[in-house]
Structure 1
């Protein structure tokens, strides 16, 4: 009998997306289905989800503690059943960023086993993702759920430990029906609050992160975000490991990319570079690109400190949104500039052009659980300049890219100087480019690792 897997996540591409979590849930379940598993994904039914991809409502479920019934809609694509749980709190413009986010995802967590049971799903593994689904393992383990959901093994994946979902303990217990004895340092309590991320960690059979190096980093005080102690316990008990994310290589394929035509070889890269130069009015110096969230995590402050020096040697183009200070600063610096280009927000087409047309890609993250941008860049022959942390450590070889360790602008600039030195030797640069483009980032390997993990459990 095929292994039955139910993923639970707050976003899934292409139905909802704010970042890399959606990309993972858009690719991993489909690959697991191709490998023979029976796979379903449960996610909130957000207001923007509609049109051709509007779910078909098939039932409603009563959620304890709520006056409304939850709509349950279904779509099936690529061998995966996508289940959407509709509550009034999710009928808003954005996915997150509201004062009641924790309450919204507590209600979602309570609805998950009810929706799965109503659809006749009997998962052998329930795999929850990130803080927004962190209460799901606790709900399954310590509340009254339908019998069809009780025997599943529980896997929990940390995509970014920085965002944990903390809230007043008494309110969370009232919303969820969880027993009060869970409120202790070995349970779901965290400095007087309930911590949804911690609940996922302590209530699951196994905890994964999205790269092996990040799995080690989060057991240290520097990267553990206050949860390093409980993670060291999980590690000691053999309940913690890292599985590197893959990449959707069909979506990010230079040979068939609709936004970067004629990119089949290195000659095509020259055409993509020329296109980017014309778009931003750059001169003929090399182009360094960034596609990023504008947040402290991404090392944007290091970039700003290094920019005056970088711009004496290269053109820089940055696409991203987030922190208003960083957006305002980059907007002001780029106005009228012919060496610095900046566009705020998300722009799928421009992102493809930056990955394809840049010579090097800058990613000086203070921490990076996995990162997809460096994989995408290498797929397009754009060599990464990255800080040696998390998934960047696991994916960027010094034989291909340029790494630095210290969280300082001068360390970033030293790595950039090494890149410049390599570029002055065309044979060496092309060897690095060709090696980068030959790397396999497909989801088949990671999907197989997860299936092996489920089997061991």
Structure 2
């Protein structure tokens, strides 16, 4: 594929992007950002972008990936799997803690941000980006360092700041920031002696993005943007929403080694073999015509589990089977363990992390429930549709942008009775075989590949350096 050439002050040079993230699959993954960092750069590389990832060299990475080679003093290097995308790992004592979210968490990620600028100033990578793409509060101070002072040694890097979940702001005491050379004058707003690092990055970055068009609109309101809504309103012209993609190397029912029987549109009947297997795993009656609903999720209020708890008794009066996989808040873990005992043979709760089981659940489920209070993008509904499990979602964030009438069912009001009505409506459609099969086929045809997302990111990069 030809290398992209951009006519600007970087004439005849390949576009260079440094993608800064505190997590990156497969090396270290805690949440959705890890998937993004492990997939988006690969898709951008295929478009001809010279993109490289930078992250801390955690203790666990050293243990799990001993083959990673030292690049130079305090910098290690590897590549993202099945790609030529370099990943730089910054090694410092503060990154070696077994728990990266201990009491040194703030200092750890301040150090990471400052090291990035230092490395580029000194040209330690023998490579300098046109744009530094920062992600969430852990890299927020990169945007501050580039706005605060344009280094005499290295000029010109623009910054993109992507909000993956605005609920995690990185609020940090000013006294901690002062130890790293920052002053009160560096920050737009200080509340109760603390700085909201995400809010500051929103104001400092050259361009701000988030992970779906609807979420980009939602966070302009206090209901979703919290105390950052005013900052986002100021940056409205520089704010955009780009949907995350789905890594089809990991999630593809045609090639999935973790399900009992591979299937696609041409042999969709094999999905019933997977349903049968899932029913056996859950201790359910192995019948085809009883709908099987699934959830694979962190057990948290954000994910709508308060609604599910309220409506659970009513739901279990319906003729259905229900499986949940996930861990999270003790309140929900305890509740679903109790329900597991009460509704044996029709409800199955797996309170654990089990990726292999997750694959089988997606492959075997008829429906996938996501009644989220808010959802920046959402991954579960993308996987579900790929595997022919029809999503039942609340209309918020990325769920609005990905689940349409021809591929799923939705409800607007965050209310347990509205959720229950939508589940009942889904059961009615399920028993109309022709309509249901059409929904399943429509959902499986949808394209949520990272290639689509990468093209949109490329456009905003081009816009920045014109």
**Given the two structures, how large is their TM-score scaled by the length of structure 1?**
0.93
Distance in 2 of aligned mates of 1:420 and 1:291: 20
Shift of 1:76: 2.2
Unaligned regions of 5+ residues in structure 1, if any?
Answer: 61-70
Shift of 1:184: 3.1
Asked if 1:392 corresponds to 2:399, the answer is: yes
Counterparts of 1:284-363 in structure 2, within 5 Å, are 284=287, 285-313=290-318, 314-335=320-341, 337-363=344-370
Shift of 1:121: 2.2
Q: SS at 1:225's partner residue?
A: helix
Distance in 1 of aligned mates of 2:207 and 2:312: 43
Which residue of 132, 137, 141 corresponds with 2:143?
137
Partner of residue 72, structure 1: 75
Shift of 1:305: 1.5
Partner of residue 277, structure 1: 279
Shift of 1:113: 2.2
Partner of residue 63, structure 1: none
Distance in 1 of aligned mates of 2:117 and 2:369: 42
- Contact 2:291/2:427, CA 8 A, preserved across alignment: no
Counterparts of 1:29-428 in structure 2, within 5 Å, are 29-49=41-61, 50-52=63-65, 54-60=67-73, 71-77=74-80, 78-96=83-101, 98-116=102-120, 117-143=123-149, 147-148=153-154, 150-175=155-180, 177-185=181-189, 189-190=190-191, 192-235=193-236, 238-264=237-263, 265-283=267-285, 284=287, 285-313=290-318, 314-335=320-341, 337-428=344-435
Distance in 2 of aligned mates of 1:122 and 1:112: 11
Distance in 2 of aligned mates of 1:87 and 1:320: 33
Distance in 2 of aligned mates of 1:319 and 1:94: 25
Shift of 1:308: 1.2
- Contact 1:47/1:91, CA 8 A, preserved across alignment: yes
Q: SS at 2:385's partner residue?
A: helix
Distance in 1 of aligned mates of 2:271 and 2:247: 20
Distance in 1 of aligned mates of 2:175 and 2:99: 27
Shift of 1:333: 1.8
- Contact 1:379/1:439, CA 8 A, preserved across alignment: yes
Q: SS at 2:179's partner residue?
A: helix
Distance in 1 of aligned mates of 2:151 and 2:84: 27
Structure 1 or 2: more strand by fraction:
1
Asked if 1:20 corresponds to 2:27, the answer is: no
**TM-superposition CA deviations, 1:370-411 (whole Å, max 9, x none):** 001100000000000100000000000022211011111111
Distance in 2 of aligned mates of 1:292 and 1:53: 31
**Given the two structures, how large is their TM-score scaled by the length of structure 2?**
0.91
Distance in 2 of aligned mates of 1:128 and 1:267: 44
Shift of 1:144: 7.1
Q: SS at 2:117's partner residue?
A: helix
Shift of 1:310: 1.6
**TM-superposition CA deviations, 1:277-313 (whole Å, max 9, x none):** 0001112321111111111111111111122122222
Q: SS at 2:336's partner residue?
A: helix
Partner of residue 10, structure 2: none
Deviates more, 1:435-444 or 1:321-330: 321-330
- Contact 1:138/1:203, CA 8 A, preserved across alignment: yes
Distance in 2 of aligned mates of 1:227 and 1:269: 45
Distance in 1 of aligned mates of 2:16 and 2:133: 11
Distance in 2 of aligned mates of 1:24 and 1:312: 39
**TM-superposition CA deviations, 1:31-77 (whole Å, max 9, x none):** 100110001111111111144464222223xxxxxxxxxx2111124
Deviates more, 1:27-36 or 1:320-329: 320-329
Unaligned regions of 5+ residues in structure 2, if any?
Answer: 1-12
Q: Cα RMSD over matched residues?
A: 1.6
- Contact 2:54/2:87, CA 8 A, preserved across alignment: yes
